[in-house]
Amino acid sequence: MTLIDIGNTTACVYNNNHTQRILIKDFNLNNYKEKVFYISVNNNFNSFPNNFINLEPYFILDSNYKGLGIDRIASCYYIKTGIIVDAGSAITVDKMSNGKHLGGFILPGIQAYLNTYKNISPRLEYSLNTDINLKSLPNTTKDAISYGIITSIITSIKLYANNDTIYLTGGDSSILQKYFDNPIIEENLIFKGMQKLINDLNL
């Protein structure tokens, strides 16, 4: 079977343990003739072929959060207890405890942080130092920016993590992983949640 997560900028296609990211402008629903299970946050796709099955109506997550996105729901559905960090264009953080979603928050993604500095002043346009030492105050502008970005992300997450396991997913998860103790990298967490739902309901 094929699983597809349709976002606003890319569609992520999962088949036979292989993941492919396709830019939305190049994504064509008619290229898939097999059965497809999908979730979507992209409102530009209003009509789907008959072989496409939308999983969103089937997901039930114990949560008081209003407006939780289906991509976050799918990830949380797979994790019974822990902190789920999806580091993409935005960074979403969700806390699960014994199958209940306790809440979460959203931060800008790393590139969005960098763009903010650039928009303040051209002199603040730098790439991220991904090896910044958070135990030492920076002495260059590039390191000062990197320190501010990484510290704000890591501190916010650790505030609610306590001793819970941290699950990292998303394109920038490799940048964040070194700043946590023994995090678990789950590159295909959304698809694992989709697959679990399919198995649980025998869809």
CATH number at residue 44: 3.30.420.40
pLDDT of residue 115: 97
45 lies in the same domain as 124 = no
**Identity at 44, one-letter amino acid code:** N
- Domain of 165 in residue numbering reads as 62-198
pLDDT band at 8 (very low <50, low <70, confident <90, very high): confident
37 lies in the same domain as 97 = no
Determine, yes or no, domain membership for 146: yes
Contact (Cβ atoms closer than 8 angstroms) between residue 1 and residue 35: yes
pLDDT of residue 1: 85
Determine, yes or no, domain membership for 203: no
125 lies in the same domain as 31 = no
d(CA 68, CA 49): 26
Contact (Cβ atoms closer than 8 angstroms) between residue 154 and residue 134: yes
**Residue tagged active-site, from 5, 26, 62, 71:** 71
101 lies in the same domain as 167 = yes
Determine, yes or no, domain membership for 133: yes
- Report strand pairing: 62-63 vs 100-108: parallel
State pLDDT tens for residues 26-60.
999 999 999 999 999 999 998 999 999 999 999 99
Q: From residue 164, how far is each of 65, 92, 94, 110, 160 by CA, in Å? A: 20, 16, 12, 24, 9
181 lies in the same domain as 136 = yes
- State how many domains the chain has: 2
Contact (Cβ atoms closer than 8 angstroms) between residue 42 and residue 57: no
d(CA 200, CA 202): 6
Quick count: other Cβ atoms within 10 Å of Cβ 5? 25
Is 71 known to be catalytic?
Answer: yes
- The rounded mean pLDDT for the chain is 95
Q: What is the pTM of this model?
A: 0.91
